[in-house]
Structures are given as C-alpha cells and as structure tokens.
Amino acid sequence: MLYLVGLGLSYKSDITVRGLEAVKQCSRVYLEHYTSILMAASKEELEQYYGKEVILADRELVESGSDDILRDADKEDVAFLVVGDPFGATTHTDLVLRAKRQSIPVEIVHNASVMNAVGSCGLQLYNFGQTISMVFFTDNWRPDSWYDKVLENRKIGLHTLVLLDIKVKEQSIENMARGRLIYEPPRYMSISQCCEQLLEIEETRRSKAYTPDTPAVAISRLGSSTQTFKSGSIKELAEYDSGEPLHSLVILGRQCHELELEYLLEFADDRDKFRNDVVADQEFFKPAPWVPPQEDDD
C-alpha cells in the first residue's frame, strides 16, 4: 500500500491519528520537501515522534525518481508525507497515477492545508476564485501567466489566494549547467517582494486587474503559534515586514461581504482607510444595471 499522508501546517502533532497509525506500520517513510515545509518540526523531531527514519524527497526524486518511492509498495507499506494536504500540489496526483498504473493500492489521509486554513483571516472560503502561485523573478524570467487568473477572479468579484514561492535544494543556473551538485541556501518569498512583483506586472500589463490601492491581506506562518494577519493595500503591503516564513497573500474581490470586512479591519493599521479602500475597490468590474429588453410593437 502507498499511503499519502497530510501533515497539517506546523507541528509534528498536527498529523491525524489515522495518519500516524499508517506511518508507524510503514517500512519506508518519505517526506516531500520542496512545495512546503513543516514550520515547527525538524526532520529529527519527526523521526523521534514516528519512531521511523524519514527520507527527504526533493523535487528530483518525486518527479524523476518515483520508481524508488514506489519500489515494493505492492508488497509492503510505504508512506509519502506531505505538508498540508496530499493533493495541495499536482506532483502528488502524478504519483498516485503512477502507483495505480503499477496496480499498487493507494490510501489518502487528508489534513488541513492553506487552501482551507486561509479562512482564519476572516474571508469566506466560497468567495475565493482561482489560486495562483507567485515565483521569484530573475533578471531574464518574469512570468505573468497568473495575471489573467487574477483578472478573471476580479471580474466576477472573487478573492484570489496567492501562494508565495519557496526554494529548497535549488541549484544556480551556472552550477546546473556545469553539472555541479551545489545547492543554494533556502529562500522564502516575503509579502513585500510578492507585492512588488504584483505592482511591476500591473505596470506592464495595464489591464487593471488590480491597482496599488487594491485591498489585500497578508498571511504569515498560518497554523503556527506566531500566525499573523495584516490588512492593507497592495502598495502598503509592499513595504510590510512580514517576518519569518511561510507567507501567503489574498487579493480581495469586489464581493467583500460586510462580515468579512469587519473581520479584516481587526488587522488594519488604519481602519477607516482600509474600509474606504474596500468601498472604492468594489466599483471595479461592477456589473452594469440590468435593463430588460424592449419588446417589439409587432
């Protein structure tokens, strides 16, 4: 059996009871180690808690060496641990499909992830549209395909969850080209860098998917003891020191309910300004009043 086990957001004990029972019976335990990190638990702490060796699975192993993970999983139990929920990344869907093609039984153990825990900022989950990922820009690579998704969300009034890039066990282009297995130090995108990149792409695209004054909420260390939220405009959050990782951002949609707004005001430095920004923003993409079609006199 291949077990895909969600670990939750922060602590070693966030794993579910069913997930822990599955891990304890497995002969091999892999920890996916590139889409996210468990903020309040190290590999050694997990090993002590599970009573098992934990094998770190980087992107290369998961995407290119999946045969190693699935080895003998038709005869013994293997666990693949994922921070958050197992289906938070498409890579894990691919692993399940590979297992099924080899007739390996698969069991999923779900857990909390940013996709549902984001509701703790006060925004209602059913008011969210498409989620986007913001990657680190480089000198010659500044992708903006996500911009159209924000625009689509905003046109129908929905909030946009922005997942911020992390780089764990990544090689520089030079080391990659020279075949040197030298890895860069881990990097985690900050709220300010994300907002700066948002503003840069809006300046380039000029379709007004959002403006510098568009309201947003910064989410830091979700699910941990130091979890924090900050409400403000994108321009204001571009100057916000969000502290230690991990971070995410929500760009508000036009349909911001009064209860959502009241909750977000708790996290605003200037409550009146933030309320005014939300009211002004609701005019964006506001549907034209419906006019009934005129009937023909005939």
Q: Identify any residues that bridge with 29 across adjacent strands, giving them in sequence order.
A: 79
CB 218 within 8 A of CB 118: no
Q: Give 67's contacts (C-beta < 8 A, 6+ positions apart).
A: none
* Residue 88 is labelled as binding a ligand: yes
* Residue 81 is labelled as binding a ligand: no
* Residue 19 is labelled as binding a ligand: no
Kindly provide the b/e burial profile for residues 131-140, where b requires at least 16 CB atoms within 10 angstroms of the residue's own CB. bbebbbbeee
Structure tokens, 238: 């571009």
* Residue 222 is labelled as binding a ligand: yes
* Residue 164 is labelled as binding a ligand: yes
* Residue 9 is labelled as binding a ligand: yes
Q: How many CB atoms lie within 10 A of CB 196?
A: 17
> Quick check: helix, strand or coil at residue 104?
coil
CB 218 within 8 A of CB 240: yes
- DSSP letters for 163-177: EEPEESS---HHHHH
CA distances from 290 to 154, 281, 293, 294 (A): 20, 21, 9, 12
Which residues belong to the annotated binding site? 9, 85, 88, 113-114, 164, 222, 247
Write out the binding residues for S-adenosyl-L-methionine. 9, 85, 88, 113-114, 164, 222, 247
